[in-house]
């Protein structure tokens, strides 16, 4: 696949309607009050509803009307071992989310759902909309990328580690770091995505997932509409995380795996060793009912061209990859999964950036502890990045 074709795919993902498919509404999910067993409010003002796992939004999707809940994968990629029950509130997988700071969590048998307003739909949990209807981003907005990609065939998943930063983000813009697992082309692209993002509304990074079954004509962010089936009761999709300074300046690490369950074709999302949930295979129209043919890792920003100049929204840490470890953001230990759950280093990845003078990427040689890795990002507006 050419880089220009890749950019078409990635640009489509940025220009998607933030209202998802099948039932997003002005006041959020309109959950049945009887399905909410507990409510938690974070210090940042977020409200988390603990919803009966069997009454979660996923089961409203017409293709999941008779779906049987799968609590864990039938198998794991070789070398990827799931963790047991969380032992303390300091567990790395949950302690970084702000709503967990005081030791709160949802009880077993429920899942945490972030309560969202219409504004959350439009900007916090999706790209900016030009109006209150399902439209693309406002005229003039441009998605820009610094990504590493691996084309091929028969991919059963992707693995990698991302360090989390808190990049400066201008009004109506966002900055993200994520995985893409895709198959197909044009209007038939299937895509599964996960990572962290920051918008101007909170200035905190948040965990997100997304999928589209039809080339971005429709799509679903987090649990804002039916699709993803969550099984974990302590991880809130879309919820904010603590800024890196909370951890003594260290950048928090997300160890992410998206892998196919080869018994039923469901695609599982695993975060720091914890199963979060899965995208059922029959959500997709073609491609990802089978395996993937393109894997991508990298950064994205939305540039609204404020005052006619390039945005100063930062990507990654706001530093260029040439500044190296300790300053530049990175993805490391990149791997792919083949049939039989075999895991291989993602040798042969290619790094490409849409505007290298604004945001760039440098793929590095294999190193101990870093594996296959790259640095990416940049500050945006500068004398070399004006328009």
Cβ 157 vs Cβ 181: under 8 Å:
yes
| Percentage of residues of the chain with pLDDT beyond 70 | 79
Report how far residue 189's alpha carbon sits from residue 214's, in angstroms, rounded to the nearest whole number. Answer: 6
Assigned token pair, 188: 């038939």
Q: Tell me the per-residue pLDDT of 27-62, one tens digit each, with 9 for 90 and over.
A: 346 677 889 999 998 877 889 999 999 999 999 999
Cβ 229 vs Cβ 58: under 8 Å:
yes
pTM of the model: 0.87
Within its chain, how far is the Cα of 289 from the centroid?
20
Assigned token pair, 73: 């994968």
Of the pLDDT bands very low, low, confident and very high (cuts 50, 70, 90), residue 1 is low
Cβ 294 vs Cβ 180: under 8 Å:
yes
Domain residue spans of the chain:
3-377
Residue 306 has φ and ψ, to the nearest 5°, of: -60, 130
Which of 83 and 128 is assigned the larger pLDDT? 83
Which of 106 and 387 is assigned the larger pLDDT? 106
Assigned token pair, 229: 């089936």
Active site (catalytic) residues: 193, 300
């Amino acid at each position: 696949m050419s880089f220009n074709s890749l950019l078409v795919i990635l640009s489509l993902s940025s220009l998607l309607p933030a209202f998802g498919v099948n039932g997003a509404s002005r006041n959020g999910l309109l959950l049945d009050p009887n399905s909410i067993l507990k409510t938690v409010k974070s210090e940042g003002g977020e409200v988390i509803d603990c919803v009966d796992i069997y009454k979660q939004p996923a089961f409203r999707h017409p293709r999941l009307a008779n779906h049987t809940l799968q609590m864990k994968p039938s198998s794991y990629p070789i070398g990827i071992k799931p963790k047991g029950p969380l032992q303390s509130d300091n567990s790395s997988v949950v302690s970084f989310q702000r709503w967990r700071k005081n030791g709160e969590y949802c009880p077993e048998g429920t899942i945490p759902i972030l309560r969202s307003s219409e504004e959350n739909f439009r900007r916090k949990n999706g790209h900016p909309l030009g109006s209150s209807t399902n439209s693309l981003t406002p005229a003039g907005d441009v998605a820009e990328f610094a990504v590493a990609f691996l084309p091929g065939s028969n991919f059963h998943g992707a693995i990698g580690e991302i360090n989390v930063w808190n990049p400066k983000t201008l009004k109506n813009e966002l900055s993200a770091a994520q995985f893409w697992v895709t198959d197909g082309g044009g209007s038939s692209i299937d895509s599964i995505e996960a990572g962290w993002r920051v918008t101007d509304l909170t200035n905190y990074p948040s965990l997100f997932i997304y999928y589209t079954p039809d080339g971005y004509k429709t799509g679903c962010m987090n649990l804002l509409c039916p699709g993803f089936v969550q099984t974990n009761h302590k991880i809130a999709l879309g919820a904010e995380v603590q800024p890196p300074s909370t951890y003594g300046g260290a950048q928090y690490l997300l160890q992410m795996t998206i892998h196919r369950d080869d018994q039923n074709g469901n695609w599982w999302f695993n975060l720091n060793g914890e199963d979060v949930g899965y995208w059922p295979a029959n959500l997709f129209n073609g491609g990802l009912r089978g395996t993937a043919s393109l894997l991508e890792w990298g950064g994205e920003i939305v540039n609204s061209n404020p005052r006619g100049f390039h945005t100063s929204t930062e990507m990654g840490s706001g530093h260029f990859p040439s500044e190296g470890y300790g300053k530049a953001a990175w993805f490391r230990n990149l791997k792919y999964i083949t049939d039989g759950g075999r895991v291989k280093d993602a040798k042969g990845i290619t790094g490409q950036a849409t505007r290298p003078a604004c945001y760039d990427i440098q793929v590095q040689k294999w190193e101990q502890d870093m594996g296959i890795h790259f640095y990416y990002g940049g500050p945006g507006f500068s004398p070399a990045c004006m328009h």
